[in-house]
Chain A
Amino acid sequence: GDSVTQMEGPVTLSEEAFLTINCTYTATGYPSLFWYVQYPGEGLQLLLKATKADDKGSNKGFEATYRKETTSFHLEKGSVQVSDSAVYFCALKARSTGNQFYFGTGTSLTVIP
């Protein structure tokens, strides 16, 4: 079935460090891919998305490219800030299963000054 595998955390980085959070997926057909972010005590918010192969989603300095050949959607940011501390979830929306969303287990990021 459709699924998302996400890099386990927690991840701790110093401010201005480079961030990569790995995400790979398994899906039938051509899913849309998403990164959601959850700040402490809040619900999930969309960070970025990509709807087809080779699309790059970007927002707030974060980027992820939909790689069909490697079935990956890794999240990157060149210089993290303390305010980026949160839990990040990779997700796919599968056309083949009634547009269901499948989420990864989440990666907790802590950025220290």
Chain B
Amino acid sequence: EAGVAQSPRYKIIEKRQSVAFWCNPISGHATLYWYQQILGQGPKLLIQFQNNGVVDDSQLPKDRFSAERLKGVDSTLKIQPAKLEDSAVYLCASSYSGGGNTGELFFGEGSRLTVL
């Protein structure tokens, strides 16, 4: 079974530039999450999708971050314009929505962003 795919693995940009990250979840996983992981911290949820609908985006900085999952499969997270404090690893995860609340998250390898 293929895992969660993310690209690019690494990105270096200047502040005020834009960047986009892509994620393809495990086939059949209806729920998709984007997390931000700053060095030395735990993952922080940015947005959660159920199919192509947003379940929670309360911690997404909407003035600069946007995310979409138009066909309920793959997803794109965009940052425009980037700030220095956006330097982090952006993790995509997916989970199977059946089985109540016991299903675990499956993570991609992450996209490491450095903003100079």
Interface residues in chain A, defined as those with a beta carbon under 8 Å from any beta carbon in chain B:
6, 31-32, 34, 36, 42-46, 49, 51, 89, 93-95, 97-101, 103-106
| A88 smallest CB distance to B (angstroms) | 11
Is the Cβ of A51 less than 8 Å from the Cβ of B102?
A: yes
* Complexed CA–CA distance, A98 and B102 (Å): 12
| B60 smallest CB distance to A (angstroms) | 14
- Smallest CB-CB separation from A41: which chain B residue? B109
Known: A98-B56, A106-B41. A42 touches B109 (CB 8 A): yes
Across the A-B interface, give the 4 residue pairs with the lowest CB-CB distance, nearest first: A103-B42, A43-B107, A95-B101, A43-B109
Known: A101-B45, A103-B42. A44 touches B107 (CB 8 A): yes
* Complexed CA–CA distance, A85 and B66 (Å): 35
- B38-61 CB contacts (< 8 Å) to partner A: 40-45, 48, 55-56
Picked from B42, B48, B103, B105, the residue with its CB within 8 Å of the CB of A104 is: B42
Is the Cβ of A99 less than 8 Å from the Cβ of B101?
A: yes
A residues less than 8 Å from B56 (CB atoms):
97-98, 100
* Complexed CA–CA distance, A97 and B42 (Å): 19
Is the Cβ of B105 less than 8 Å from the Cβ of A101?
A: yes
Known: A32-B102, A43-B91, A95-B100. A100 touches B107 (CB 8 A): no
B residues less than 8 Å from A34 (CB atoms):
104-105
Is the Cβ of A31 less than 8 Å from the Cβ of B101?
A: yes
